């Protein structure tokens, strides 16, 4: 018997970094997925289709398996194959999708009947090993899907959209650096504590407003909030010349708004293209050497199935 699970990746629309310090953030699941296949074997085997993923990078996934095996008293002699459509180091949550799909696939194989919350808790074991003290936003969206307003310690709120929306996802060509960037932002916070508190409050307000604009299909209003949020992220140290330059390029191509997404320092930029100009904007970006794709939202969360 083989169990499989697929989890979407994600893009943070507004509020990254501040979410680690208690603010609300807005996040969407994207259609690119990580798939995990699990079957019984005579010993533990973990493989990834990504040659770039080293044994050390697979260690957090192994910790998820060991924690589940300990909790539910089974031997971790499983053959696990990870297949990913999600670019690594792009700030799109490939590790969170992997951990969520892994926990869901094991739950399915072992008939554990885990609910979404438990899948999230097991996935967090791997995420903490990779990122130190993540807020949990990535695993929550990969498990739940759709669009979420998320705050640590609060019940996530699903944001309903009046129709489909399209985000442009543009890769900067540099890897994002989550741990380093979280530390850099913490330094900014200790240097300007009062100002940081005000910015975190404003990030919550920006995220709530962005959720309203997105639900209403107001892409002009949403775009302005994205660009504003990028400027603030830049101030707290999450951006760099390459990301700022990419945001400027996107605005000069007529986009309604653009910002870095995820930890920053590299990774991806999200943007809202001018009406009907998604494909031509992507072609122009490719001509300038940037990898870019269109992401339609909302998309569903993790799902799992069994095959004899």
Q: Is the dihedral of CA 149, 136, 261, 23 positive or negative?
A: positive
| Residue 97 or 135 having the CB closest to ligand MEV | 135
Q: Which residues pair with 257 in a beta bridge?
A: 272
CB contact set of 123 (below 8 Å; sequence gap of 6+): 64, 96, 99, 100, 102, 103, 139, 142, 143
State how far the Cα of 222 lies from the Cα of 227, in Å rounded to an integer. 9
If you ran DSSP here, which 8-state letter would residue 20 be given? G
Give residues in contact with ligand MEV (CB under 6 A): 12, 16-17, 19-20, 93, 134-135, 137-138, 178, 182, 262-263
CB of 279 to ligand MEV, least distance (A): 27
State how far the Cα of 135 lies from the Cα of 156, in Å rounded to an integer. 12
CB of 107 to ligand MEV, least distance (A): 23
If you ran DSSP here, which 8-state letter would residue 145 be given? B
CB of 122 to ligand MEV, least distance (A): 17
For the chain, the helix, strand and coil percentages under 3-state DSSP, each to the nearest 5: 45, 25, 30
CB of 147 to ligand MEV, least distance (A): 15
State how far the Cα of 269 lies from the Cα of 100, in Å rounded to an integer. 24
| Catalytically annotated residue among 138, 212, 218, 244 | 138
| Residue 262 or 298 having the CB closest to ligand MEV | 262
Cβ atoms 10, 298 nearer than 8 A? no
Mark whether 138 is an active-site residue: yes
| Residue 26 or 112 having the CB closest to ligand MEV | 26
Residues labelled catalytic: 138
């Amino acid at each position: 018997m083989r169990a499989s699970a697929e989890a979407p990746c994600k893009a943070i629309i507004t509020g990254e970094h501040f979410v680690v310090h208690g603010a609300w953030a807005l996040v969407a699941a994207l259609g690119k997925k990580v798939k995990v296949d699990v079957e019984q074997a005579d010993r533990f085997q973990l493989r990834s289709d990504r040659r770039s993923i080293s044994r050390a990078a697979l260690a957090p996934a192994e910790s998820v398996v060991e924690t589940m095996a300990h909790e539910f008293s089974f031997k971790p002699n499983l053959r696990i194959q990870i297949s990913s459509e999600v670019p690594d180091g792009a700030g799109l949550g490939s590790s969170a999708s992997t951990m969520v799909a892994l926990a869901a696939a094991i739950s399915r194989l072992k008939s554990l009947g885990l609910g979404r919350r438990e899948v999230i808790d097991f996935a967090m074991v791997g995420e903490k090993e990779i990122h130190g003290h993540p807020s949990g936003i990535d695993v929550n969206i990969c498990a739940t899907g759709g669009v979420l307003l998320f705050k640590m310690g609060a019940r996530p709120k699903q944001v309903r959209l009046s129709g489909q929306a399209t985000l442009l996802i543009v890769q900067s060509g540099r890897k994002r650096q989550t741990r380093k960037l979280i530390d850099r932002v913490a330094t900014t916070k200790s240097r300007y504590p009062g100002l940081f508190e005000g910015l975190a409050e404003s990030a919550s307000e920006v995220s709530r407003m962005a959720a309203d604009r997105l639900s209403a299909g107001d892409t002009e209003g949403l775009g302005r909030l994205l660009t504003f949020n990028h400027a603030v992220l830049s101030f707290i140290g999450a951006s760099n010349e390459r990301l700022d330059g990419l945001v400027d390029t996107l605005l000069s191509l007529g986009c309604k708004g653009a910002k870095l997404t995820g930890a920053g320092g590299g990774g991806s930029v999200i943007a809202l293209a001018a009406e009907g100009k998604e494909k031509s904007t992507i072609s122009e970006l490719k001509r300038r050497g940037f990898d870019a794709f269109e992401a339609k939202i909302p998309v569903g969360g993790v799902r799992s199935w069994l095959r004899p």
